[in-house]
Amino acid sequence: MLAATTQPSAPAPAAPLPSPRAMYRALLGRDPSYQGVFVAGIVTTGIFCRPTCRAKKPRPENVRYFPSVGEALHDGFRPCRLCRPLERVEGPPPVVAQLLELAEADPGRRLRDADLAALGIDPSTARRRFKAATGMTFQAYQRARRLGLALRQVRRGRPVIEAQLDVGYESGSGFRAAFTRLFGQAPAGARRTACLTAQRIATPLGTMLALADEEGLRLLEFVDRRGLERELQGLRRRLRCAVVPGRHATLDAAAEWLERYFAGQPPGPDLPLAPVGSPFQRAVWRALREIPAGQTRGYAELARAIGRPGASRAVGRANGANALAIVIPCHRVVGADGALTGYGGGLWRKQRLLDLERAASPGACV
């Protein structure tokens, strides 16, 4: 997954980077555990690299560090042709993957620093790298995961006390307080609480946040999109739901869909989509899905396609309100002159998506 800030649904500010000395040491040693923590911009060449790049290393004063490829691109650096930081999906650093496996093996258990140390995991390293990779601390992830499990149990009719004990809370008052802070109401009222499951998905163009419930995929956005926090708050308000990290079949399907998409392969079966919007917006989003991969349409063309030829501006607003990036391909909409227009994930991503689709084999990127 994952989510961020005190409410797991909102993206946290970028986690502080390790010290320049630590990052330079990782760059010199090609340390794979720093994958996803930073990319290095080389001032003398204007390129940026993965921590594991095999290229000759610059002097420390000629390196700038960024928490994401997007920030490196925005600062004018171009991707390295040797390590190709944009072209392969990288999983989380090994220590983060190990922590997630431990948490999922027994979601009701609370792993403390002493437990991590007994497993040979340095707690301070684990804290720093988990937050850098997921946007939240490991403790916050475990807490939200356990409370999410409790919510599901209570909604299915399990007695509150049994759900409380199953997820490792010995104190009833502590459980009620934590539950109420996260979901906005006490456990006794949880049967009326809707819930979205959240997961972060790594892609070659940056990490995406995905939210789903039993209706389908509700949100898929790049985590550095401007206004994402406001978008999440609006979604939670409209659905009157809580958001918790965890596993969900639709999120697993979305991750597989994206992996195939970025590999230039046919993504496979349609994902169950459940966008939240007005009838007009949903009509525009359906029209977006009719645009063939690698092709583009103007706003006026879309307006005619939905039978509203005078509604180009409204179509543009609906296009911008799309919360399911890539799977509802708003990146295939351009200006009347064919020029790229605004895209929430950044124009550089819009161009990369179109380039990928045009280069893919027939039938891919549908």
Is 330 a known active-site residue? yes
Cβ atoms of 242 and 194 within 8 Å: the answer is yes
Reduced to 3 states (helix: H, G, I; strand: E, B; else coil), residue 185 is coil
For 37-74, give one letter per residue: b (16+ CB within 10 A) or e. bbbbbbeeeebbbbbbbebebbeeeebbbbbbbbbbbe
Separation in Å, CA 63 to CA 35, 57, 68, 174, 364: 17, 9, 15, 47, 38
- Of the residues 49, 53, 195, 365, only one is catalytic, namely 49
Instruction: Taking each helix axis as running N to C, give the angle between helix 172-183 and helix 138-155, from 0 to 180 degrees, rounded to the nearest 10.
Output: 90
- Long-range Cβ pairs for the range 259-262 (8 Å, 24+): 259/89, 260/364, 261/326, 261/364, 261/365, 262/89, 262/203, 262/204, 262/205, 262/356
- Of the residues 53, 195, 241, 330, only one is catalytic, namely 330
Helices (H) and strands (E) in the chain, counts: 14, 10
Give 267's DSSP letter: -
- State whether the Cα torsion 233-158-110-176 is positive or negative: positive
Cβ atoms of 107 and 1 within 8 Å: the answer is no
Cβ atoms of 289 and 356 within 8 Å: the answer is no
Reduced to 3 states (helix: H, G, I; strand: E, B; else coil), residue 176 is helix
Which residues have a Cβ under 8 Å from the Cβ of 292 and sit 6 or more positions away?
Answer: none
Which residues have a Cβ under 8 Å from the Cβ of 308 and sit 6 or more positions away?
Answer: 280, 314, 315
Question: What's the rounded Cα separation, in Å, for the pair 349 and 2?
Answer: 22
Which residues have a Cβ under 8 Å from the Cβ of 82 and sit 6 or more positions away?
Answer: 49, 53, 54, 55
Catalytic site positions: 49, 330
